[in-house]
Amino acid sequence: MKQKIRKGILTYSALLFPLTFFFMSPYVIIMSAAYGIVNGSALFFGFLLLFSMIGSRLFCGWLCPGGAIQEQAAHSNNKAWNGKWKNSSKYIIWFFWLALVVFLWISNGPLAVNFFNMYSLDSHIFVIYMIVVTLIYVFALATGKRGMCHSLCWMAPFMIIGEKCADFLHIPRFRLKAETENCISCGRCSKKCPMSLDVVEMVKTNQMDSNECISCLECADICPKQVIKFGISAKVK
């Protein structure tokens, strides 16, 4: 039931994407910064960082339209896509992109805040929207399960930083827990994980925190022994 609700929310979020993609755009934030404007996507990325200090990556698993598009692509390519360099590339892209945005803000200050800067619902925006959706879909088809989340997503680093800050400050946040002793190593959790994580190994070693976990709870729902629990708690030292 939980997963039906999650998929329903993701589908609805994908349907609303023509109205919301301006607020998640890595391009619009640069164009706005060039005019000394802090736009809606900048504010939204800041919100995601703060939200993840309590909600971890629930946004990715339950609300992100890009995630919804990739989960559709996974019906055609369900290959695992996870690994050191596959996950690291997003940080390199993110670092240079954010450095450019900050440079433009500093160069074009004093800054003004305009949440709707460059927001438009003209018909040409629909063409841009279709291009964005196609690129996300094709990238996930070419790579594998949520390949873009692992390798390209410019929003994920904000949330991973938020999670790290919460753990550093011992702020309770949403996280998985495992009752390791009940696991029968059936492997269903790993197979089901949309982020290609080795959940069986996470359970066995009782290391349920992963930067790549999107809190979707697929693993908890598929487990026949209810090994995987979830809740809000601070990191155990």
User: Is 19 a binder of ligand SF4 (CB under 6 A)?
Assistant: no
Nearest to ligand SF4 of 29, 214 (CB atom): 214
User: Is 214 a binder of ligand SF4 (CB under 6 A)?
Assistant: yes
* Shortest distance, position 2 Cβ to ligand SF4, whole Å: 11
Nearest to ligand SF4 of 3, 108 (CB atom): 3
User: Is 132 a binder of ligand SF4 (CB under 6 A)?
Assistant: no
* Shortest distance, position 176 Cβ to ligand SF4, whole Å: 6
User: Is 156 a binder of ligand SF4 (CB under 6 A)?
Assistant: no
Termini Cα distance of the chain:
34
Number of residues forming the site for ligand SF4 (CB under 6 A): 27
State the sign of the Cα–Cα–Cα–Cα dihedral 201, 205, 206, 209.
negative
Instruction: With contacts defined by CB under 6 A, name the span among 2-10, 23-31, 44-52, 209-217 that binds ligand SF4.
Output: 209-217
User: Is 5 a binder of ligand SF4 (CB under 6 A)?
Assistant: no
Q: How far apart are CA 24 and CA 155, in angstroms?
A: 8
14 neighbors 82 (Cβ within 8 angstroms): no
Token pair of 154 as six digits? 């410019």
Judged by CB under 6 A, the residue of 49, 53, 73, 217 near ligand SF4 is: 217
User: Is 53 a binder of ligand SF4 (CB under 6 A)?
Assistant: no
Judged by CB under 6 A, the residue of 225, 235, 236, 237 near ligand SF4 is: 225
73 neighbors 146 (Cβ within 8 angstroms): no
User: Is 73 a binder of ligand SF4 (CB under 6 A)?
Assistant: no
Amino acid at 82: N
Binding characters for ligand SF4, 164-203, by CB under 6 A (x = yes): ------------x------xxxxxxx---x-x-x-xx--x
Instruction: With contacts defined by CB under 6 A, name the span among 16-24, 106-114, 134-142, 217-225 that binds ligand SF4.
Output: 217-225
Query: Contact residues for ligand SF4 (CB under 6 A)?
Result: 176, 183-189, 193, 195, 197, 199-200, 203, 213-219, 222-225, 227-228
